[in-house]
Structure 1
């Protein structure tokens, strides 16, 4: 038994354009989401703080943040201290305890 042939319905041009526009927007949004997630993964998996080579910290001190000033470098350590170092010689100028 055969079905009676159904008439082929033509899609209006505006509807075809809208369908293509929504599909393109979906693809662009998925691509943007992939880019944002990969940038977050790259930035959050950073290996930590890098110090200039002329800076040597006291034994047992691990840097958690570094700030570069005019002629000085401030190093925040994991033991709640701020070490102010000379930028050229790397010599320790001042130690500030954080409570």
Structure 2
């Protein structure tokens, strides 16, 4: 019985000696992937912080008056202008103080 047990132990030691280089490679691979994942997450956080931290909202005019019966469908901002698209496909361009500069009626092709 002792000899069977000793023989089994020697076989186990021989098998573990074979697998140790593979386990070292696997351990190194897992560590490298963990480092890459942490660096990628840090890069995403930095990119979001830079992109979202620099966005300044434009100064809105205190008062913008739409023509009678007009309802705003979309609003966008240019560097010094406010542009409003109404439900009737009319484009209204206002200056930075809220004065109407131009009105353009869009036509469907």
TM-score of the two chains, using structure 1 as the length reference: 0.49
Bigger radius of gyration? 2
TM-score of the two chains, using structure 2 as the length reference: 0.46
